[in-house]
Amino acid sequence: MHPRTAPVAPVVLGPAGTTADDVLAVARRGAPVELSVRALDALAAARRVVDDLAAKPDPVYGVSTGFGALAVRHISPDLRVQLQRNIVRSHAAGMGPRVEREVVRALMFLRLKTLASGHTGVRPEVAQAMAGMLNAGITPVVHEYGSLGCSGDLAPLSHCALALMGEGDAEGPDGAVRPAADLLAAHGLAPVTLREKEGLALLNGTDGMLGMLLMACADLAALLTAADVTAALTLEALLGTDRVLAPELHALRPHPGQAASAANMLKVLDGSGLTGHHQTGHDGRPAAPRVQDAYSVRCAPQVAGAGRDTLAHARTVADRELAAAVDNPVVLTGGAHAGGRVESNGNFHGAPVAYVLDFLAIAAADLGSIAERRTDRLLDKNRSHGLPAFLAGDPGVDSGLMIAQYTQAALVGELKRLAVPASADSIPSSAMQEDHVSMGWSAARKLRTALDHLTKVLAVEMYAATRAVELRAGLTPAPATRAVLRAVRDAGVAGPGDDRFLSPDLAAAEGFVRSGRLVAAVESVTGPLS
C-alpha cells in the first residue's frame, strides 16, 4: 500500500498575476486552483465592456469581426456564437506526438491567469470552467507541432479550448485518453458555449512557452548545482588544486554566478586528501607536475557561473511575463474612456520568452560540453595522472568506461545542435498578416530535450568521477565525496572492477542525478548549496 501523498495547498488566482512556484505546483504537483473574489469582479467588469461593444453597430476586432487576415469582415450577432466555436475548431490543428501532461497543465493555468486579470473580456463562468477542468485532472490532448509563437501558442491553446467546449480528446486523471465530453460529464462539468471575444481570448497567449520556460528554469537550476558537484568530484579525482576556487580570486571578476559555483565546489572539496597533489603527485615524489589544471577543471566556475547568470536573466523575463495580461485585443477599463474600451496590440509576440529559451539552450550545451571534456580527461591515462586507462579493471582485457564517454559525446553533439536558436527563424503565416513570428514554442520544446540530455551527460561524469576517486588508493576523499560514494553505491551504481553491462549502471546514475539525490548526499555534509 502506497503512503498517502500530502495534499497540495490551493493556488488562488487574482487579477495581479501569479508566481513561478504556483505554476510548478499546479503543473507538476496537481495543486487545485481557485479564483479570488477580486478576479471574478474583474472578469465581470471586463465582460460588461465587451457586451456593450457587441451591441453596437461598429465593428470591433475579436468581438464582431473575423480574425487575423479575415478581420475585415463584420460578423452579424446571429453568427457570433458560431464564429467563436469555429475559431477554436479550426485552430485546433496540431500534429505530432502528445506533449507532456505538465506542459498542458501549465499552459491552461497560465491562460487562466490572464483571464483572471480582467483584460480579456470572457465571462466569469468561462474562467471557472477552466479551473474546474484543472481541478478534475482533465488534460486536453495537445500536439507537438502547431505553434509559431506569435499570436501566442494558438494551436496548443485551441486544443485546450476545444476540450472546454466538450470536443476533442483529453486524458483523465487515470491516464486514459477519452472523448473530452465524456470526461467532463464524468466529473459533473458542463461544456462551455463561447460568446463574443471568448474563443479568441482562450487562444491568444504565450502560455505554453512561458510554462515550459518556468519548468526549465527550475530544472536547470538543479542541474547547475549538480554540475558544480560533478566538477568538484572530477577535480578531486584528478588530484587537482582547489586554490583556484578561493573567494578572493572570484571577487576580482564579480559575476555572481561564478562566485556561487566556486563556493559550491569549495564546500564539496572541504577536507579532501586528494586535492593539492598537482605538483608532487600523491606519493610525494614529482609525477608530471602541473602548474595549473586544464581549463575544463580550472574554469568550471566561470562556465557554470555564466549559466547561472543567464538563468537569472531568464527568470527576470519570466517574472515579467507572469505579471502580464497577454491577449489581443485587450479590454481596458477606467481612464479617459468611460465604460472602457477594447484595443488591438502586439503583446502576444513571443520574442522576449523565445530569446531566453534559446539562451538557456546555449548554456546547457556549454555546461554539457565542459563536463564531457572533464570525463574524457579522467579516462585518458596520459592526462589522468596515474589512473588506469578508461578506468578499466584490467586495461586491454577490459574496456572500462570507453564507450560510456562515446555515449556522453553523442549527447553533447546533440546538445550543440539543440543550441541553434529557434528565435532567429521566422516563417510568415496568415496571408502575411502574421509576417514575423517568434518560434518560441519550438525554442521551448528543444530546451526540454536539451535539459534531459544534460542530465545524462552529468550522470556519466559522476559515474566516471566516483569510480576514479575510489581508484585513488591510500588517499582519503572529502567527507562530502564519501557521502556521495555511499549514496551512489546504495542506489545500485557499481564501482570499479571488471567490465559489466554498462547501460543499467548509467541508467541508475542518471536516476540518481535526476532525482536530486546527488546534491542531497553532498548537502547532508555541507549544508545547502547554491
Phi, psi of 381 (to 5 degrees): -60, -20
Query: Which amino acids are annotated catalytic?
Result: 61
In terms of Cα–Cα distance, which of 350, 321, 363, 372 is closest to 221?
A: 363
The 3-class secondary structure across 101-164, one letter per residue, is: HHHHHHHHHHHHHHHCCCCCCCCHHHHHHHHHHHHHCCEECCEEECCCCCCCCHHHHHHHHHHH
How deeply is 82 buried, as exposed, middle or buried, from its count of CB atoms within 10 A (0-12, 13-18, 19+)? exposed
Residues whose CB falls within 8 Å of the CB of residue 520, separated by 6 or more in sequence, listed in order: 487
**Are 206 and 152 within 8 A, CB to CB?**
yes
Please, is 195 exposed, middle or buried when counting C-beta atoms within 10 Å of its C-beta (0-12, 13-18, 19+)? Answer: buried
Q: Is 395 helix (H, G, I), strand (E, B) or coil?
A: strand
Residue 89 one-letter amino acid:
R
Q: Which long-range contacts (CB under 8 A, 24 or more apart) does 426-430 make?
A: 427/148, 429/148, 429/150, 430/68, 430/69, 430/151
Q: Which three cell numbers stand for residue 502?
A: 554498462
β-strand pairing of 139-140 with 169-171: antiparallel
The closest of 435, 296, 455, 473 to 375, measured between CA atoms, is 296
Q: Is 171 helix (H, G, I), strand (E, B) or coil?
A: strand
